[in-house]
Structure 1
Amino acid sequence: MSHQLGRIKAIFMDMDDTLVMTGDADLKAYTDVVALAKQLHAQVNAPKLLEAWKQLFLKAPWDPTHKVPVNEWRSGLWKQALQSLGIEKPQMAEALQERFRASRLEHFALDNGVKEMVADLRQQGYKVLIITNGHAEIQRGKLRQLHAVEHFDGIIVGGEEIKAGRAEKPATSIFLKACEMAGCTPDEAIHIGDSLPADVQGAINAKLAAAILVNRWHKALPRAGPYPTHIVEHVTELPRILKALQAT
C-alpha cells in the first residue's frame, strides 16, 4: 500500500555501475575470455591480447555509423587484437566475443539489496524508472537479463533516443521524457547514477529536485563541477537520502 508522498514522486536510476556493478561483471567475463584464449591458442599472450582489445573497445565499442551489428563489430575488435599479436584466426575472434558476451550477461545482476529497495520504494508509491545510456541492442540485452520490466515502472535507453533523433544523458529531453512517463514535474523527481557528466550534470540541466552521485571508490570530485546534491557509496543508501529530501 502506498503512503502519502511528499514533494518527491519519482526516482530515476542509472543502470551500469549504479544498479548493477557492470565493471565486476566485465572482470569476470575477461577471466573467462582469457581461459578460452589459452585453450584455443596455447602460446597466446593473454594479458597483451586483453589489453589490445580493451584499447580498441574504449575507442569504439560499436560501429559509430550503426551499420555493423554490434556482435559482429566486437568480433572484429578481437580479430584486430589477435592480429596485433601476429595471430590470424577469425574463428577464434568470434569465439572470444561470444564468450565475452555470454559470460558478461551471466554475471550481470542487480547488486545486493537493490531489488528489495526498488520493490519497497514502489510499494510506498514512488515511480521508479531506469535511464541508461548505450547501444540499444546491448542495453536491452542487459535489461532482459535483469527482468527489469518486472521490477521498474519504466525504462529509457539512450541508444533508442539517438535512433529516434533525440539524445541520451545528459540531454534534458531524456529526463523530461522520464518525468512524462512517471506523471511528475522535474522538481518532483530525483536521479541517481555514477557519472558526473551524464547523470549529475543531466539531472542539474533538467532541474530535477536532486542529483545523487554513486561514488563507489570515493574518487575526488573535480573543482569545476558539476556538484551532486548528495553522494553515496552504494545505491541502497538512497532511502536515507530520500527521507531527508522529503523532510525539507
Structure 2
Amino acid sequence: MSFSVRAITLDLDDTIWPIAPVMARAEAALGAWLQAHAPRTAAAFPLQARRALRDAVEAEHPHLAHDFTRQRLISLQRMLQAAGDDLALVQPAFDAFFAARCEVEHYADSLAALDRLAARVPLAALSNGNADLDRIGLMHVFAFQLGAREHGAAKPAASIFHAACERLGCAPGEVLHAGDDIEMDVLGARRAGLRSCWINRPDAAGVRRAWPAGEARPDLEFPTLAALADWLDAAPHPMQDTP
C-alpha cells in the first residue's frame, strides 16, 4: 500500500527496544539499592511482594493509569512506611530504579532505521511508558516526546494522538503511528484518524503474532523498523499523494 505521510509518531517500549529485560534490570537495581539503603524494606518486600503492591496501587488508583511514575512513587512510600524506614528515601529509591529503566538495549535494526525515518519526515515519540529519551540518547532524532503522564491520558485515547498531530502541525490522516501493541497503538491510532503501522516483531522462535479476527487490519505491517524505513524510502514525497 502506498500513501503520503507527513510525519510519524512512534511507540517506544517493545517497538524500539524490548521492555522485559529493561524492567528486570530496573527491578534488580531497585532491590540492590533497597538492600544497601533500606534493608528492612528490602527484607519485607522482595520482588514478588513489590509486584503485588504495584498491582494493588494500580487497582486502587485507576485515575493514575496513565502515570507509571506516580504509581511507583506511591508503592515505594508504602513499602518504606510499612517497614519503618525513612520516607525521605522514596525519591532516591525511585532514582535508582529509573536510571536502570533508561538503560535500554535497542533492537538491532532500530538506531539505523530511526536515522533513516527522521531524514524523511518529522518523528514524535508517543508512549504510555515513562522512558526518558534524553537519558537514553535518542532525543536528537525526535521532534518531541509526548508521554501519557505529561498528556494526562494514555493510548488508546484519541486525545493523545490528536495532541501529537497538533504539535506536528498535521491533520491526523497525514500522520502514521507505528507501534507493537494491537489495541494501544494500531487500533487506537485508527480510531483517532491516523494511519497505522503494526510493528509485529517475531518472537524467539521466529513466530509473528496473528492479527485478531474481526478487526480491520492496519494500513501497514512490518517485522522491523528497518522494513518501515524501506517502505518510506520507496513511498512518494511526503507532500504528494499517489493517484
Q: Same fold (TM over 0.5)?
A: yes
Q: Are the structure 2 counterparts of residues 238 and 221 from structure 1 closer, same or farther at C-alpha, using a change threshold of 3 Å?
A: same
User: 1:177 and 2:160 equivalent?
Assistant: no
CA contact (8 A) 1:21 1:111 kept: yes
| TM-score, normalising length: structure 1 | 0.70
Q: 1:11 aligns to what?
A: 8
Q: 1:120 aligns to what?
A: 116
Q: Are the structure 2 counterparts of residues 25 and 77 from structure 1 closer, same or farther at C-alpha, using a change threshold of 3 Å?
A: farther
Q: 1:152 aligns to what?
A: 142
Q: Are the structure 2 counterparts of residues 78 and 223 from structure 1 closer, same or farther at C-alpha, using a change threshold of 3 Å?
A: farther
Q: Are the structure 2 counterparts of residues 65 and 192 from structure 1 closer, same or farther at C-alpha, using a change threshold of 3 Å?
A: closer
In structure 2, the gaps of 5 or more residues are none
Return the match for 2:52 from 36, 52, 55.
Answer: 55
Q: 2:77 aligns to what?
A: 76
Count residues with an aligned counterpart.
223
CA contact (8 A) 2:10 2:126 kept: yes
Q: Distance in 2 between matches of 1:237 and 1:55?
A: 39
| TM-score, normalising length: structure 2 | 0.71
1:63-212 mapped onto 2 (5 Å cutoff): 70=70, 72-79=73-80, 88-91=83-86, 94=90, 97-105=94-102, 107-108=103-104, 110-124=106-120, 126-134=121-129, 138-139=130-131, 142-162=132-152, 167-212=153-198
Q: How far is the alpha carbon of 1:52 from its aligned partner? A: 1.7
Letter in 1 for 2:104: F
Q: 2:220 aligns to what?
A: 230
SS for the counterpart of 2:97 is: helix
Q: Distance in 1 between matches of 2:226 and 2:55?
A: 29
Q: Which has the higher contact order (CA 8 A, sep 6+)?
A: 2
CA contact (8 A) 1:196 1:226 kept: no
Letter in 2 for 1:131: L
CA contact (8 A) 1:109 1:146 kept: no
Q: Distance in 2 between matches of 1:178 and 1:27?
A: 30
Q: Distance in 1 between matches of 2:156 and 2:226?
A: 23
CA contact (8 A) 2:122 2:143 kept: yes
CA contact (8 A) 1:10 1:190 kept: yes
Percentage of pairs with the same residue: 24
SS for the counterpart of 1:90 is: coil
In structure 1, the gaps of 5 or more residues are none
CA contact (8 A) 2:117 2:232 kept: no
Q: Distance in 2 between matches of 1:190 and 1:123?
A: 15
Q: Distance in 2 between matches of 1:205 and 1:19?
A: 23
Letter in 1 for 2:74: W
Q: 1:25 aligns to what?
A: 22
Q: How far is the alpha carbon of 1:157 from its aligned partner? A: 2.1
Q: Which region of structure 1 is more displaced relative to structure 2, 195-204 or 147-156?
A: 147-156
Q: Distance in 1 between matches of 2:180 and 2:3?
A: 25
Write the deviation string for residues 168-202 of structure 1: whole angstroms up to 9, x where unpaired: 32223332333333333333321111222211111
Letter in 1 for 2:20: G
Q: Are the structure 2 counterparts of residues 148 and 77 from structure 1 closer, same or farther at C-alpha, using a change threshold of 3 Å?
A: farther
Q: Which region of structure 1 is more displaced relative to structure 2, 29-38 or 51-60?
A: 29-38
Q: Which region of structure 1 is more displaced relative to structure 2, 23-32 or 107-116?
A: 107-116
SS for the counterpart of 1:212 is: strand
CA contact (8 A) 2:114 2:225 kept: no
Q: Are the structure 2 counterparts of residues 245 and 90 from structure 1 closer, same or farther at C-alpha, using a change threshold of 3 Å?
A: farther
